């Protein structure tokens, strides 16, 4: 992951909280920059299959009695193929925590604009996630404890919760700043 990537802050907090559950918790992920969290030094992901599978894998694990079950999905992957899994989890009243790691772009393939931009919270409410269990946070090192606290709180909730750590991709931000500078 890039130095300063917001996914790093998310995985540090997630690893800290999941470790407190011993071997009981599982983290399921999708394809994107955040999938690099499966590798050292983070090793935060237990399973990754394809786009959109994280939420349905977490739902299946939870429904089978494996808790906590956490899904990690990116903003653009969420709107591409994760929304239906979230709807299914809400309808099934599954006990899962979904982390939609929002870097405000499709960063892995060059920083294109995500179709999720400005819509994630509305989509989550629209499929039935209770508004008090949709949390938006700024993933930066000084907010580490807050991120841990929210992850822990939502993992304890017996229903569908969504945590949205939101910070623009540092590579996209740098490209946008260069474009802005060159257009002056």
CA–CA–CA angle 17, 124, 146 (5° rounding): 30
Tokens 């999708």 locate to 30
In this prediction, residue 112 carries a pLDDT of: 66
| Prior bond of 41 cis (ω within 30°) | yes
Tokens 């079950």 locate to 69
Q: Extract the residue ranges of the chain whose pLDDT is less than 70.
A: 107-112
CATH architecture of 6-182: 3-Layer(aba) Sandwich (3.40)
* CA–CA dist 177, 164 (Å, integer): 24
Q: Which pTM does this prediction carry? A: 0.93
In this prediction, residue 107 carries a pLDDT of: 67
In this prediction, residue 164 carries a pLDDT of: 98
* Cβ–Cβ under 8 Å, residues 50 and 30: yes
In this prediction, residue 163 carries a pLDDT of: 98
In this prediction, residue 70 carries a pLDDT of: 98
In this prediction, residue 49 carries a pLDDT of: 87
**Domain spans, the chain:** 6-182
In this prediction, residue 179 carries a pLDDT of: 84
* CA–CA dist 149, 58 (Å, integer): 21
């Amino acid at each position: 992951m890039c130095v300063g990537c917001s996914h790093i802050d998310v995985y540090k907090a997630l690893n800290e909280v999941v470790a407190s559950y011993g071997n009981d918790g599982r983290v399921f992920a999708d394809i994107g920059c955040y999938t690099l969290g499966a590798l050292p030094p983070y090793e935060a992901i237990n399973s990754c299959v394809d786009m959109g599978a994280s939420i349905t894998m977490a739902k299946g694990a939870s429904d089978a009695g494996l808790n906590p079950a956490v899904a990690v999905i990116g903003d653009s992957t969420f709107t591409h193929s994760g929304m239906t899994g979230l709807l299914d989890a809400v309808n099934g009243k599954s006990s899962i925590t979904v982390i939609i790691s929002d870097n405000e772009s499709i960063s892995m393939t060059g920083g294109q604009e995500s179709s999720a931009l400005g819509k994630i919270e509305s989509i989550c409410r629209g499929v039935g996630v209770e508004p008090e269990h949709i949390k938006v946070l700024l993933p930066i090192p000084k907010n580490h404890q807050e991120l841990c606290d929210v992850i822990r709180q939502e993992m304890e909730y017996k229903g569908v919760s969504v945590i949205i750590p939101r910070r623009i991709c540092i590579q996209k931000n740098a490209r946008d700043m260069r474009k802005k500078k060159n257009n002056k």
